Amino acid sequence: MNTLKRRPVGTAPRYRQIAQILRAAIGNGTYKVGDLLPGEIELCALYDISRHTARDALRLLTDEGLVVRRRRAGTMVTAPPGPATFVQPLGGFEDLLQYAGEARLRIIYYGPAPADGLAQTLDLLPDDWRELRGYRGKGAQTVGLTRMLIRKDCAPTGSDIDGASSVAGAIEARFGVVASRVDQRISALTLSSLLAQLLGAPEGSAALHTQRQYRDATGRLYLATETVHPADRFAYVTSYTRERPDIDR
Amino acid sequence: MNTLKRRPVGTAPRYRQIAQILRAAIGNGTYKVGDLLPGEIELCALYDISRHTARDALRLLTDEGLVVRRRRAGTMVTAPPGPATFVQPLGGFEDLLQYAGEARLRIIYYGPAPADGLAQTLDLLPDDWRELRGYRGKGAQTVGLTRMLIRKDCAPTGSDIDGASSVAGAIEARFGVVASRVDQRISALTLSSLLAQLLGAPEGSAALHTQRQYRDATGRLYLATETVHPADRFAYVTSYTRERPDIDR
DNA sequence: CTTCCGAATATGTCTGGACATATGGGGGTC
DNA sequence: GACCCCCATATGTCCAGACATATTCGGAAG
């Protein structure tokens, strides 16, 4: 039957609705951790959808880590839904990996982007960007060296940045530009003599290298950051939990 | 035409092949950052696949953060250069348990935990644990060196582990023990001469050091892992996207 | 020249069908 | 009981087609 059931405008796609129904069912205990969800074919019959749509719904749940799927075994619930800590709450992407304490930004330079700086590395036109360099630290101790490019048409003032907790946050507050997508890359790096000197660390020692790229709703890059943390002063510590916080004591 | 082109056994699914082709094309400069990839229809014609298969391939690239897709605008490359290094998604819980990249685990040793090994470092009773040491890699390429402790009562066989993409996943499949909490620490490390030799990397060069502790529903530790990745072969990448407020109704 | 609007277009959603593949579990064997 | 083999089964892969929806872009209107 290829009857076209036009979905009313303004409603979510069918597969998202199904996913939400299943999330709710898991949440209210209809399906407990360890239980099997209905198979794809059963879902088709239950909700009058095609198998493809059922699979899309289940894919959402899989991506969220709520279920595990295995051939022949079926779809098993592995976690209750809810404001689990590992799902991004989308407040601000900046502190998704918890920083050890809050590392304040001390600005060294903030002005036109030199042609041989970060703009060159990222293959961007220097004229369209402002470059910022600074230290990340807590009190007197420096935990990292930061360099970033900010697109000119959404570059806050230095004092704007000084006050805000993060540059991305400052841009959002000042220009209303929100990150629609952030790509992050964490790698290791051997400190060059220049970096070592700036950080007061031994030349040739290891450091963490974090790069982030922030994009707006149209996919256009508007903020690119790069931070170097000496190995002995910084580590990313993340705690993933599947337990919901106990509300009632 | 519903001609069934049987894919030879042992080869990757078509959509993964296409994704790999596109990854390579991005890596070698055929498509530069900011360029548009061929549209879905074009891909269908280019590789003689259905649109659905093309979409699956593009979905992989999107999940990896290599491209951004927008209606009418097309598929734009956003990946920073650096095709040589291995990347591991670091999105949430599920990434720790399931696809540990496509980096297979090659076991060197799997047996009783020596008293002076990882058990000592973590202050655990060696008798209760089994220790595993091995390489992580894809094909001939080694991307990391791993050492882990597995609690005896949930220690899978070597062949169980060999097949699975991750040890935590193998334990979940075999014993039903699901991680309720995972603590992770990512830091930088300077390679000792021993590690450097094992990894075939320069002594004194930088590496990523990842430690994880998996706990079951009762909070008891059941798996502790430690992995060292040479800087030039590995990086963690994360891609966060902000979604519209859920309607789902 | 600027603004507004419609058409073109690339991706998003969805149906229906077919064969592939892995594997849990039942049944038979030793 | 322990072991192995086979098969039913649930998910995985892939095809072909249709309509929906969001933007971009160019042309018409002011």
Complex ipTM, two decimals?
0.76
CATH 3.40.1410.10 residue ranges for chain A = 104-230
Which residues 132-151 in chain A show a CB within 8 A of chain B? none
Q: How confident is the model at residue B211 (pLDDT cuts 50, 70, 90)?
A: confident
Chain B environment of A19 (Cβ under 8 Å): 248
Quote the mean pLDDT of chain A.
80
Mean pLDDT on A112-123: 86
> Comparing A104-118, A181-195, B39-53, B231-245, which segment has the lowest mean pLDDT?
B231-245
Predicted pLDDT at B222: 87
Amino acid B176: pLDDT: 67
**pLDDT at residue B75, as a whole number:** 94
Q: Which of B180, B186, B190 sits opposite A205 (nearest CB)?
A: B190
User: Residue A100's pLDDT band (boundaries 50, 70, 90)?
Assistant: very low
Identify the band that residue A140 occupies on the pLDDT scale cut at 50, 70 and 90.
Answer: confident
Split at pLDDT 50, 70, 90, the class of A180 is: confident
**What is the structure's pLDDT at A102?**
58
Task: Check residue B180 and give its pLDDT.
Answer: 67
Rounded to a whole number, what is the distance in Å from the CA of B67 to chain A's nearest CA? 9
Q: How many Å from the N-terminal Cα to the C-terminal Cα in chain B? A: 38
Interchain CB contact of B25 with A (< 8 Å): no
Q: Indicate whether A164 pLDDT > 70.
A: no
Q: Which CATH class is domain B86-237?
A: alpha beta
Numbered ranges of CATH 1.10.10.10 in chain A: 14-77
- Indicate the average pLDDT of chain B: 80
Per-residue pLDDT reduced to its tens digit, B17-30 = 999 899 889 888 89
pLDDT in tens, B121-156: 888 888 889 899 988 877 677 888 999 998 888 887
What does the pLDDT read at residue B243? 54
User: Nearest nt (C1') to A39 (CA)?
Assistant: D10
Mean pLDDT value across residues A36-46: 94
How many angstroms is C1' of D6 away from CA of A71? Answer: 17
> Does the pLDDT of residue B38 top 90, yes or no?
yes
Return the HEC string of chain B: CCCCCCCCCCCCCHHHHHHHHHHHHHHCCCCCCCCECCCHHHHHHHHCCCHHHHHHHHHHHHHCCCEEEECCCEEEECCCCCCCCEEEECCCHHHHHCCCCCCEEEEEEEEECCCCCHHHHHCCCHHHEEEEEEEEEECCEEEEEEEEEEEHHHCCCHHHHHHCCCHHHHHHHHHCCCCCEEEEEEEEEECCHHHHHHHCCCCCCEEEEEEEEEECCCCCEEEEEEEEEEHHHEEEEEEEECCCCCCCC
Among the residue ranges A232-246, B35-49, B51-65, the one predicted with the least confidence is A232-246
Torsion of CA B132, B134, B138, B142, to 10 degrees: 150
Split at pLDDT 50, 70, 90, the class of B193 is very high
The verdict on B183 touching A (C-beta cutoff 8 Å) is yes
Work out whether strand A236-241 and strand B234-241 pair parallel, antiparallel, or are unpaired: unpaired
Of the residues B143, B195, B248, the best mutation for testing chain A's interface (the one with the most A CB atoms within 10 Å of its CB) is B248
Q: How far is the CA of B174 from the C1' of C1 (A)?
A: 71
How confident is the model over B69-122, as pLDDT tens digits?
998 999 999 875 444 445 555 555 445 444 345 667 888 888 888 888 888 888
User: Is the CB of B74 less than 7 A from some atom of nucleic acid strand C?
Assistant: yes
Whether domain A14-77 has CATH 3.90.320.10: no
Contact A242 B187 (CB under 8 A): no
Flag whether pLDDT at A18 surpasses 90. Answer: yes
What was the pLDDT predicted at B183?
74
Please indicate if any CB of chain A lies within 8 Å of the CB of B84: no
Q: Nearest-CA neighbor of B181 among A65, A241, A237?
A: A241
- The pLDDT assigned to B83 comes to 42
Q: Are the Cβ atoms of B92 and A65 closer than 8 angstroms?
A: yes
Instruction: Determine the pLDDT at residue A84.
Output: 36
Among B92, B93, B231, the residue with its CB nearest the CB of A190 is B231
A50 CA: nearest nucleotide by C1': C15
Q: Which range, A142-151, A166-175, B21-30, B189-198, is most confident?
A: B189-198
Q: Is B71 on the interface with A (CB under 8 A)?
A: no
**B50 vs A98, residue with greater confidence:** B50
Chain A positions touching B182 (Cβ under 8 A) are 239-241
Q: Please give the Cα distance from A25 to B65 (Å, whole number).
A: 31
What value does the mean pLDDT take over residues A20-34? 89
Q: How much is the pLDDT for B215?
A: 78
- Intervals of CATH 3.40.1410.10 along chain B: 86-237
What is the structure's pLDDT at A91?
30
Does domain A104-230 fall under CATH 3.40.1410.10? My reply is yes
